């Protein structure tokens, strides 16, 4: 496999066993005090919950999730609006372009999107192998980001230059989480890599922690607590989806955290290295220890990774979050909000305030930025205070936030006419005795070529759908599965692929 050049300058990294030489990155100062934009739409998602009966590992009774769904169109429009408002640009592609350093974007630029698949406990009532987790990653949000990026360069930015990644569990109950959340299946190859990069769509790299070959020799390294005794230093090796790409987008989910106070955009970077557990050990957690791991290491993770692959945008998914018992399971809140900023400290401070709002509404003490624990015995978010005091990677000030309410906007894609055709695809829904899929194309008057087929999870084609070229901007496809009674009782999943003008859209279908 061809590896991206990750030694970008002698000031950035020293390989083969040495830690990266940290120098102030050009993006740090540009991100300090960056404004935030928070977009709300009460129609973006629906959530129904019930009282749970089973406690998690922290003895918090976990809310029972009875139903969760997202409105793909509204989430796409929320993401577009957030980026346009943040940059002051009135076109989506130009807004995304403005997030890159001047002169650093071209048709060869590679971008990774870090999502967060860290959720779920074995003892809870919610079965995340059957239902989508509302505080897990949403493929609709990932698609919205990708469609925004591909509008750069007048629609000529290659979708193949984009990679979604996170760590995946190759065995056990968590191995199917990405599929349940709506991401297309990525089978393991003969070398136990979960990498899929087909033409016409974005790449996926689920990092397999059991595969010792995931991180090659000479990968960038850093030490999470370099100024402390050896047993607390927590040496880290960086995963390929970070250093193989030129820039990164950080998509976090709003949750509290038993070790860090809250887990937001900075803590999300723990999934970018091989040894995040090195900051979570029992010695770190001793109340009399002067070296609590997350307090020291969260800002170092963000700063070190930003030196290797700069983060151009932080996104906080607060459609649904966890205010008590997180990060894997707990008590949830439903705010239908997406927030964006280049400033990680401002974003995580916003998260802390959001979590505390719902904690206090439900009778729990607020989490602070002081050392130690709060009145409820919940660890505080001291890393936020240390991020500003010692690292200067952001500003906790919340006075520079713009709030946008899109609840009264219509459910409609606004597809621009660009050099390359633009298209969107709905989620699959059941109607009139068949599975239905709606296609939206730009109103350019061009003839749109559509190819559509359904595969099982082993990538065997079970149905091809014939579609004639069309100049229409709307199209509806139908598929009526023919399954025997036994197969239907298993509630099998399929993947519905649709190529529109060379761009592949994939949707998970559960029959």
* pLDDT, mean of residues 312-338: 98
Distance (Å) of CA 87 to CA 34, 268, 306: 10, 24, 21
pLDDT in tens, 204-252: 999 999 999 999 999 999 999 888 888 788 899 999 999 999 999 999 9
For residues 87 and 285, the model is more confident at 87
What is the CB neighbour count within 10 angstroms for residue 206? 23
* pLDDT, mean of residues 152-167: 98
pLDDT range class, residue 285, cuts 50, 70, 90: low
> Would you state the pLDDT for residue 280?
74
* pLDDT, mean of residues 154-176: 89
Cis peptide bond N-terminal to 71, omega within 30: no
**60 pLDDT higher than 60:** yes
Q: What whole-number percentage of the chain has pLDDT above 70?
A: 90
> Would you state the pLDDT for residue 29?
52
> Would you state the pLDDT for residue 4?
40
Distance (Å) of CA 55 to CA 58, 63, 66, 128: 7, 9, 17, 16
* pLDDT, mean of residues 132-156: 98
How many helices and strands, by DSSP H and E, does the chain display? 12, 22
Q: Using CA atoms, how far apart are residues 421 and 415, in angstroms rounded to an integer?
A: 9
Run of H or E residues at 95? helix 92-97
* pLDDT, mean of residues 348-372: 97
**145 pLDDT higher than 90:** yes
Stretch among 12-16, 93-97, 366-370, 466-470 having the lowest mean pLDDT = 12-16
pLDDT in tens, 78-105: 999 999 999 999 999 999 999 999 999 9
Please state the CATH superfamily assignment of the domain spanning residues 423-510 in this structure.
Answer: Intracellular proteinase inhibitor BsuPI (2.60.40.2360)
Q: What is the mean pLDDT of the chain?
A: 90
pLDDT in tens, 480-504: 998 888 887 788 999 999 999 999 9
Q: What whole-number percentage of the chain has pLDDT above 90?
A: 79
| Angle of CA points 37, 40, 45, to nearest 5° | 135
> Would you state the pLDDT for residue 171?
63
**388 pLDDT higher than 50:** yes
Q: Using CA atoms, how far apart are residues 13 and 221, in angstroms rounded to an integer?
A: 8
> Would you state the pLDDT for residue 233?
86
* pLDDT, mean of residues 24-39: 68
pLDDT range class, residue 288, cuts 50, 70, 90: low
Region(s) of the chain under CATH 2.60.40.2360? 423-510
DSSP string, 337-389: EEEEES-HHHHHHHHHHHHHHHHHHTT-PPP-SSSSB-TTSPBP-HHHHHIII
* pLDDT, mean of residues 409-426: 95
Q: Which two tokens stand for residue 4?
A: 């991206």
Tell me, what DSSP letter sits at residue 428?
Answer: P
> Would you state the pLDDT for residue 281?
64
Q: Using CA atoms, how far apart are residues 304 and 12, in angstroms rounded to an integer?
A: 9
pLDDT range class, residue 30, cuts 50, 70, 90: low
Please name which of 339, 353, 499 lies closest in space to residue 421, comparing C-alpha atoms. Answer: 499
Q: What is the pTM of this model?
A: 0.92
pLDDT in tens, 241-271: 999 999 999 999 999 999 899 999 999 999 9
> Would you state the pLDDT for residue 225?
87
> Would you state the pLDDT for residue 295?
86
**363 pLDDT higher than 50:** yes
pLDDT in tens, 429-467: 999 999 999 999 999 999 999 999 999 999 999 999 999
**331 pLDDT higher than 90:** yes
**378 pLDDT higher than 70:** yes
Q: What share of the chain is helix, strand, coil (3-state, %, to 5)?
A: 25, 30, 50
């Amino acid at each position: 496999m061809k590896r991206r050049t990750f030694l970008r300058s002698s000031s950035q990294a020293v390989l083969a066993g040495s830690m990266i030489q940290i120098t102030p990155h050009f993006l740090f100062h540009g991100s300090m005090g960056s404004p935030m934009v928070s977009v709300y739409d009460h129609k973006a998602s629906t959530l129904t919950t019930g009282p749970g009966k089973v406690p998690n590992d922290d003895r918090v009774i976990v809310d029972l999730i009875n139903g969760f769904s997202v409105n793909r169109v509204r989430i796409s429009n929320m993401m577009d609006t957030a980026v346009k408002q943040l940059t002051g640009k009135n076109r989506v592609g130009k807004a995304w372009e403005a997030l890159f350093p001047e002169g650093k974007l071209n048709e060869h630029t590679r971008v990774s999107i870090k999502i967060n698949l860290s959720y779920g406990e074995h003892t809870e009532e919610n079965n995340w192998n059957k239902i989508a987790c509302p505080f897990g990653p949403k493929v609709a949000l990932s698609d919205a980001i990708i469609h925004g990026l591909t509008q750069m360069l007048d629609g000529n930015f290659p979708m193949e230059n984009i990679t979604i990644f996170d760590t995946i569990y190759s065995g056990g109950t968590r191995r199917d989480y990405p599929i349940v959340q709506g991401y297309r299946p990525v089978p393991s190859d003969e070398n136990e890599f979960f990498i899929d990069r087909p033409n016409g769509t974005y790449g996926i790299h689920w990092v397999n922690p059991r595969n010792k070959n995931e991180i090659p020799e000479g990968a960038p390294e850093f030490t999470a607590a370099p100024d402390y005794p050896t047993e607390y230093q927590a040496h880290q090796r960086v995963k390929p989806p970070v250093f193989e790409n030129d820039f990164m987008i950080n998509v976090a989910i709003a949750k509290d955290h038993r070790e860090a106070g809250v887990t937001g955009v900075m803590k999300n970077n723990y999934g970018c290295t091989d040894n995040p557990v090195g900051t979570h050990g029992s010695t770190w957690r001793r109340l009399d220890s002067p070296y609590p791991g997350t307090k020291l290491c969260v800002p170092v993770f963000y700063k070190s990774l930003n030196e290797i692959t700069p983060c151009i945008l932080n996104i906080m998914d607060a459609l649904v979050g966890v205010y008590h018992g997180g990060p894997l399971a707990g008590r949830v809140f439903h705010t239908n909000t997406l927030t964006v900023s280049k400033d990680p400290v401002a974003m995580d401070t916003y998260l802390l305030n959001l979590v505390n709002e719902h904690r206090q509404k439900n009778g729990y003490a607020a989490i602070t930025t002081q050392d130690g624990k709060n009145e409820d015995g919940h660890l505080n978010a001291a890393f936020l205070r240390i991020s500003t005091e010692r690292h200067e990677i952001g500003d906790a000030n919340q006075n520079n936030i713009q709030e946008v309410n899109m609840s009264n906007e219509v459910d409609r894609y606004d597809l621009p006419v660009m050099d390359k055709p633009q298209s969107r695809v709905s989620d699959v829904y059941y109607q009139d005795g068949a599975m239905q899929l709606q296609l939206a194309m730009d109103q350019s008057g061009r003839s749109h070529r559509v190819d559509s087929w359904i595969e099982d999870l082993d990538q065997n084609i079970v149905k091809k759908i014939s579609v004639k070229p069309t100049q229409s901007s709307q199209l509806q496809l139908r598929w009526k599965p023919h399954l025997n009674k036994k197969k239907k009782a298993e509630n099998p999943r399929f993947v519905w692929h649709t190529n529109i003008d060379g761009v592949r859209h994939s949707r998970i279908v559960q029959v």
